[in-house]
Amino acid sequence: MTRIFPPLAGTTLLLISTAMLLGLFLGDVQAVFKAKRESQIASLATRGQIKPSVSEPSEDSGTLSSEQWESTEYWTRIHRMVGILAALTVVLVCSIVVTYFIGTSRWCKEVAETYHLPAEVVESSAAVKRRAFPWSLAGMAWSVGIVALGAAADPGTGRENTGAWVTPHLVFALLGILGLAWAFFQLHERIAQQQEVIARVLAQVKEIREARGLDTEEQLVAAQQKEPLGS
């Protein structure tokens, strides 16, 4: 797990950073979507389908080209999809970590009961698990928060005042990347500690089996390798 987790965490942080960079290079998305809505309203008013608006049009009204709109709408959709993919990846990685600790803690408990190992083994494994769970939950919460603020700032929803959520979304995304990086670092440390506990359990089990004249894991593997095919 100590070899698997760093690539997973690195890929997750890369996805989130990519989503943030896409958002930064989109430009003034709010102005583009506002100009598009005003253009649609003006077109409907011209055809008599709605009453003309009494409010003054914005400076961008009528100046939006189709190429500009298509480009902005396309990259906004890409930014949205990459952000959702990054959030799902965070949840997946954190869930894998939670599953790992649940499984290894259960394994330590069952082995300790079988070989009558000291209770300190089970307590150590459980303590590491308890310290890891909050970081996993924090990572999931950060990703959900970033996506929620992104949805609130999305002008494509057609809601009013989406522009007010742009800055909170950006700030939370920046803090989220730093927070997730720190959470993943803490999780890696906890995984390494759990691996040490497992190594101690295996060493104690090996000593007990050797003292009882039982085959150790290495002997069982060697015996299986010496077995002829088809036996």
Torsion of CA 7, 13, 19, 23, to 10 degrees: -150
**pLDDT for 144-187, tens place per residue?**
999 999 999 988 888 888 889 999 999 999 999 999 999 999 99
Give, in order, the Cα–Cα distances in Å from 2 to each of 49, 101, 161, 184, 202. 63, 12, 45, 12, 17
Q: What is the pTM of this model?
A: 0.80
Is the distance from CB of 153 to CB of 166 less than 8 angstroms?
A: yes
Q: Of the candidates 95, 74, 111, which has an alpha carbon nearest to the alpha carbon of residue 143? A: 95
| φ and ψ at residue 103, rounded to 5 degrees | -65, -45
Q: What is the dihedral of CA 101, 104, 107, 111, to 10 degrees?
A: -120
Q: Choose between 147 and 27: higher pLDDT.
A: 147
pLDDT digits (tens, 9 = 90+) for 36-53: 877 766 776 666 655 555
